[in-house]
Every structure is written in C-alpha cells, then in structure tokens.
Amino acid sequence: MPILGHLRLLSSLPHHYLQLLSIKHGPLMLLHFGSISTLIVSSADAAREIMRTHDINFSYRHPFKVQGKLLYNCKDVSFSPYGEFWRQLRSIFVLQLLSNKRVQSFHYIREEEASILIKKIREKHPGPVNLREMFPDFTNYVVCRSAFGRNYTKSENGKKFLILLRELSELMGAVGIVDFVPWLSWISRVNGLDKRVDRFVKQLDNFLEGMIQERLETRKDKQDVLEGNGENFLDILLDIYNDNSGDVSIDRDGIKALILDVFIGGIDTTSTVLEWVMTELLRHPTVMEKLQNEIRQILKDKHDIKDDDLEKMHYLKAVIKETLRYHPPIPLVMRRQGNKDLKIKGYDVRAGTLVIVNAWAIGRDPVSWDEPEKFQPERFLNSPIDFKGLDFELIPFGAGRRGCPGIAFSVATIEFVLANLLQKFNWELPNGAQGQDLDMTERFRGTLHRNIPLMAVATHV
Ligand code: HEM
C-alpha cells in the first residue's frame, strides 16, 4: 500500500501471515514496513547466516519510540545500541544478575512461591483454577523477590506496582505506524499516546526511585540481609553504582532500566510458557501421564524438589522444549543491521535493514522437523537439539550476541513449578470437556498467549 507498504501484515497474528508468505516466496524475503526495508527470515539455515555467520552485523535493535522512552532512553540491555555501553550492561546481566550460581541461589524463592501457588490451587478444589491468572502472579512474585529481595506486590504500594507493570507490558507491545513512517510521528501527539507515555514514565520512575531510596535505607541495617532479604538484583546494581573503581559503571537511571528489563523479560514470557505447557498436556493425556509417572517415580514421596531431582527429569525437559518449539513466547525476534552492506545467501542486503526472524515458523518448518504440526516431546529424548542458541531450528530465546540472558532463570522456574504441579495434582478440563475441545487461538502483543484463559480442575493426589 502507498506509504504503509506491507505494514498491514504486522497486525493481529503476523507470524502466521509471514509464514504463509515464506512458503510461497522462500526463507528470505524483503518487505517494506512503511519506509523501513525489512528482511524476513523463516528457515534455520537463513537464521544461522544472520545470527551466527553475520551476528556482529545484526546485533543492533530497531529504535522503537515508546519502548525507548520507557527504558530511560535505551539505558537498558534489550534496547541499547550495540557497542561498548551495551557490552558493559550485558556483562552485568550475564555475570552478576543471571549467572547459574545466582539462579541456584534463588531456589528458596521458587520453593516458597510454588508452595503458595499450590495452596491457592488446593483451595479452589473442586472448582476450576484460572491458570491465566495464577501463573503471571507466580512469576511476578518470583521476579519481584529476586529483583528487590521481598515481595512488594503484596503491600499497598506494591498493588500500585502491579497496575504499573500491567500498563508497562501493554505499552511495550505498542509498536505503531510512527516506528515505521517517522514523518507520521505527529499522530502519536494527536491521539494522546505521547502524553500517556510521558505520564506513565513519570509514575513508574517515582515508584522505582522510591524502591531505591527504601533499599538504601534498609541496607544500612545488616540484620535485613541475615533475615534472608539480602543479595537481590537491586543490591547488586547498587553496589556497582556505588563502586567507581570497576570497569563497569551505571548511573541511577541505568539501575532502573536494568530492573525493568528483568520484569519485562521475565514475567509474561515465563507465565505464557507455563500456560501453553499445561494446555498441551491437557490436550495430550498420554503425554501428561508419562510425565507424571517420570516425576512421581523420581520423587517418590519426597516433598521438596531439588535441582538434582530436576536434572534427572528428561521427559520434563523434552516437554518444555517441545512447547517452546510449538509456542515460542516471542514468535518474531527483531534485529537491525549495522552500517555495512552485506551479501546473504547471494542477496544484497543494505546497511540499516531491519530483520525479523520468524522463530515460530522455523519451529514448524518441515525441512527441520518431522511432522512439525504434532506435539511430540519424544522427538527431543535422544536428540542433542537445545534452545541455547546453537541449534537454529529451535530459537525461542534467540541466538548469538543478543540472545536471551535469562534462559537459566526462566527454565529453572518453569521446571520447578511444573514438577510440583504434576507431582501433587491430577489435572482435567472442567465440565468433562476433552483436550480436543480446547480453543487454541492465539493472541499476540509482543508475547504470544492463548486467546482464551486456560481453566482446569486440579485434584490433589
Ligand atoms: C521463557 C522465557 C523467555 C523467553 C522465551 C525469552 C526470549 C527472548 C528473546 C527471543 C530475546 C531476543 C533474543 C535475540 O535477539 O536473539 C530475548 C532477549 C532478552 N531477554 Fe529474554 N526470554 C525469556 C526470559 C527472560 C528472563 C527471565 C529475563 C531476565 C530475567 C530475560 C531478559 C532478556 C534480556 C535483557 C534480553 C535482551 C538481551 C540483549 O539485547 O542483549 N528474558 N529474550
């Protein structure tokens, strides 16, 4: 279309439209979203070219307007331009906030929050449980305690934070015309979006500033650390902020932007995976039974699940991988080319081209997968394929330099809560409904959800 180009393809469920187009036109397509030339990548082979062979050239992000504003003018890891500043922030994330050791140290948080979730589910019996409501609450509490050392979401002030987080998630999904047709930027002034974002940024900043101030006060009291409210993301960031001697430094806005990255990256993605796993298990009772047998055989009557137990649960890991293949929470991974023209698989690709890797289509590509439309966790049982960014047929966490640094954090949370829910309960759909009755339509706004919340009945065993 004039001015808009192929922009209408980005409405509703773009990963579906782009997959259909790629079946016709191939794994590399050049589209024009407004004035932005965009390369659509739809095969593992082409993704490898972008995210491994030429990764350094495709390690930039598109400067989306609203998201940039929300994240303190891109002072965070996700949106900061590729370069030395990003490298420093990334090292904070990988080495300090989300290292394997740190993730293990948060086991007690997962344990305590999972037992609260289990109690809530028990209380609902014999009525149905709304898993769409319960999973985001659970992931929210886990992230909140990891970030701030305590669950702010339960206090009066914290309830305000929950409302702010909901609006943040909505605004983060707001990719509009102005991101692709810059001269139409007046539209967001006229339709009130600019004002709404400015107002929201102020509210959020006040809240985060309050958190920092409060933490600075309580940190003076060493007793706080002894009571188990110590070492959390905010503490680590405050230490880096106060320590001018190291190689890495951040300012006050940097602390807030990085904390927001954790909330944006960690809540919606992890809770939607949990909802999709439970959906697929309810649709495939034999998979559910096999998984419960594995979990119950390994745990026997043991109440507390440890990381060592989870290591032995190979079928659980296969179920999670299959869910991430079939329902990647971020179906479209966006990158941008740097200032170098390149040749990709014989095609000339101009500097500055936006790249959209359709991870959803790649997970369903018959070139890479046998019977891709079937949910079959067994395909991963004797397969070395993993989602850590080395196997390009399975890239729910992206790959390369800008691949997700939160894999260990989210996988530890997902495995732990699923093992608990399937050890302690039997699950079925309400009112005698069968798995094949489940509505599988999706809703997409940055993250891919079920359109209709998942309701299920849990019976304690
Ligand atoms: C199931 C859970 C998750 C999924 C599916 C997921 C997926 C992704 C994807 C697809 C990307 C873009 C990668 C690329 O461009 O190659 C990404 C980036 C990122 N994720 Fe995650 N993520 C998850 C959990 C988390 C968690 C728990 C955190 C933090 C606690 C996190 C923080 C980030 C950050 C900071 C980036 C930006 C990295 C950069 O640009 O250098 N994510 N994630």
Question: Is the per-residue pLDDT at 154 higher than 90?
Answer: no
Q: Is 318 in the pocket of ligand 1 (CB under 6 A)?
A: no
According to the model, what pLDDT value does residue 421 have? 98
Helix (H), strand (E) at residue 256: helix 252-266
Q: From the CA of 313, how far away is ligand 1's center (Å)?
A: 24
Three-class SS state of 452: coil
> Mean pLDDT across the chain, nearest whole number?
92
Q: In 3D, which of 323, 367, 406 has the Cα closest to residue 100?
A: 406
Q: How confident is the model at residue 323 (pLDDT cuts 50, 70, 90)?
A: very high
Instruction: Please report which residue ranges of 363-445 form alpha helices under DSSP H.
Output: 407-424
Q: In 3D, which of 281, 280, 311 has the Cα closest to residue 298?
A: 311
According to the model, what pLDDT value does residue 222 have? 56
Q: Ligand 1 atom 41: the closest Cα is on which residue?
A: 402
Task: Report the alpha-carbon distance of residue 272 to residue 263 in Å, rounded.
Answer: 14
Which tens digit of pLDDT belongs to each residue from 14-24?
A: 999 999 999 99
According to the model, what pLDDT value does residue 221 have? 61
Q: Is 410 in the pocket of ligand 1 (CB under 6 A)?
A: yes
Task: Report the alpha-carbon distance of residue 385 to residue 368 in Å, rounded.
Answer: 11
Give the mean pLDDT of 304-310. 94
Task: Report the alpha-carbon distance of residue 23 to residue 38 in Å, rounded.
Answer: 17
Give the mean pLDDT of 26-30. 97
According to the model, what pLDDT value does residue 288 have? 98
Residue 169: alpha-carbon gap to chain centroid: 11
Give the mean pLDDT of 114-124. 96
Q: How confident is the model at residue 133 (pLDDT cuts 50, 70, 90)?
A: very high
Cα angle 205, 210, 216 (rounded to 5 degrees) comes to 125
Q: Is 396 in the pocket of ligand 1 (CB under 6 A)?
A: yes
The percentage of residues in the chain with a pLDDT greater than 70, rounded to a whole number, is 98
Question: Is the per-residue pLDDT at 10 higher than 70?
Answer: yes
Task: Report the alpha-carbon distance of residue 291 to residue 62 in Å, rounded.
Answer: 41
Q: Is 165 in the pocket of ligand 1 (CB under 6 A)?
A: no
Which tens digit of pLDDT belongs to each residue from 430-446?
A: 999 999 999 999 999 88
Which tens digit of pLDDT belongs to each residue from 31-89?
A: 999 989 999 999 999 999 999 999 999 999 988 888 999 999 999 999 999 999 999 99
Q: Which atom of ligand 1 is nearest to the CA of 143?
A: 30
According to the model, what pLDDT value does residue 269 have? 96
According to the model, what pLDDT value does residue 214 have? 87
Q: From the CA of 409, how far away is ligand 1's center (Å)?
A: 10
Question: Is the per-residue pLDDT at 177 higher than 80?
Answer: no
According to the model, what pLDDT value does residue 230 have? 54
Q: From the CA of 262, how far away is ligand 1's center (Å)?
A: 9
Give the mean pLDDT of 79-101. 94
Which tens digit of pLDDT belongs to each residue from 181-220?
A: 878 788 888 888 889 999 999 999 999 999 899 888 887 6
Task: Report the alpha-carbon distance of residue 397 to residue 320 in Å, rounded.
Answer: 13
Q: From the CA of 3, how far away is ligand 1's center (Å)?
A: 32
Greatest alpha-carbon pair distance for the chain in Å reads: 65
Q: How confident is the model at residue 152 (pLDDT cuts 50, 70, 90)?
A: confident
Q: Is 283 in the pocket of ligand 1 (CB under 6 A)?
A: no
According to the model, what pLDDT value does residue 189 have? 82
Q: Is 41 in the pocket of ligand 1 (CB under 6 A)?
A: no
According to the model, what pLDDT value does residue 244 have? 72
Which tokens sit at 204?
């959020």
ipTM score for this prediction: 0.99
According to the model, what pLDDT value does residue 220 have? 66
Question: Is the per-residue pLDDT at 347 higher than 50?
Answer: yes
Q: From the CA of 77, how far away is ligand 1's center (Å)?
A: 10
Q: How confident is the model at residue 291 (pLDDT cuts 50, 70, 90)?
A: very high
Q: In 3D, which of 139, 121, 118 has the Cα closest to residue 130?
A: 121
Q: Is 399 in the pocket of ligand 1 (CB under 6 A)?
A: yes
Which tens digit of pLDDT belongs to each residue from 384-394?
A: 999 999 999 99
Query: Is 388:52 a contact under the CB 8 Å cutoff?
Result: no
Q: Is 412 in the pocket of ligand 1 (CB under 6 A)?
A: no
Query: Is 316:274 a contact under the CB 8 Å cutoff?
Result: no
Which tens digit of pLDDT belongs to each residue from 401-439?
A: 999 999 999 999 999 999 999 999 999 999 999 999 999
Q: Is 262 in the pocket of ligand 1 (CB under 6 A)?
A: yes
Give the mean pLDDT of 255-259. 96
**pTM for the predicted model, two decimal places:** 0.95
Q: Is 403 in the pocket of ligand 1 (CB under 6 A)?
A: yes
Q: Is 329 in the pocket of ligand 1 (CB under 6 A)?
A: yes
Q: Which mutation among 386, 404, 444 tests ligand 1's pocket best, with the greatest number of atoms within 8 A of CB?
A: 404
β partners of residue 428: 457
Q: Is 59 in the pocket of ligand 1 (CB under 6 A)?
A: no
Q: Is 266 in the pocket of ligand 1 (CB under 6 A)?
A: yes
